[in-house]
Amino acid sequence: MTTVINVAVTMVMYADMMLLPLYLQTARGYTALESGLLMLPGALLMGVMMPITGRLFDRFGAKWLSIIGMAITIGTTIGFVNLTDSTGYTYLVLMSTGRRFGMAMFLMPITTAGLNQLPARLNAHGTAISNTIKQVAGAIGTSLLVTVMTSRTTAHLTDMMASGGAADTKEHMVMEATIQGINDAYLVIIGIGVVGLLLSFFIKRTGQAEETREAGVTLDRSRTTAVES
Q: Band of the pLDDT at 204, cuts 50, 70, 90? A: confident
Contact, 181 vs 91, CB < 8 A? no
User: So what's the pLDDT on residue 209?
Assistant: 42
pLDDT tens-digit map of 38-67: 999 999 999 899 889 988 888 888 889 999
Q: Band of the pLDDT at 74, cuts 50, 70, 90? A: very high
Across the range 162-167, mean pLDDT stands at 64
Is residue 220 over pLDDT 70? Answer: no
Is residue 198 over pLDDT 80? Answer: yes
Is residue 103 over pLDDT 70? Answer: yes
Report, at the CATH architecture level, how domain 2-205 is classified.
Up-down Bundle (1.20)
User: So what's the pLDDT on residue 165?
Assistant: 58
Question: Using CA atoms, how far apart are residues 118 and 30, in angstroms rounded to an integer?
Answer: 46
Q: Band of the pLDDT at 121, cuts 50, 70, 90? A: confident
> What is the phi/psi pair of residue 163, to 5°?
-85, 5
Q: Which residue from 212, 102, 80, 209 is spatially nearest to 149, judged by alpha carbons?
A: 80
User: So what's the pLDDT on residue 187?
Assistant: 92
Is residue 218 over pLDDT 60? Answer: no
Question: Using CA atoms, how far apart are residues 77 and 74, in angstroms rounded to an integer?
Answer: 5
User: So what's the pLDDT on residue 219?
Assistant: 44
Question: Using CA atoms, how far apart are residues 95 and 100, in angstroms rounded to an integer?
Answer: 9
Share of the chain above pLDDT 70, in %: 87
Q: Which residue from 44, 61, 45 is spatially nearest to 106, judged by alpha carbons?
A: 61
Higher pLDDT, 13 or 70: 70
Number of C-beta neighbours around residue 83 at 10 A:
22
- What DSSP line would sit under 109-126, residue for residue? HHHHHHHTTS-GGGHHHH
Question: Using CA atoms, how far apart are residues 69 and 107, in angstroms rounded to an integer?
Answer: 9
Instruction: Please report, for the chain, the start and end positions of each structural domain, with discontinuous segments joined by +.
Output: 2-205
Contact, 113 vs 4, CB < 8 A? no
Question: Using CA atoms, how far apart are residues 81 and 102, in angstroms rounded to an integer?
Answer: 18
Mean pLDDT, rounded, of the chain = 84
Number of C-beta neighbours around residue 188 at 10 A:
19
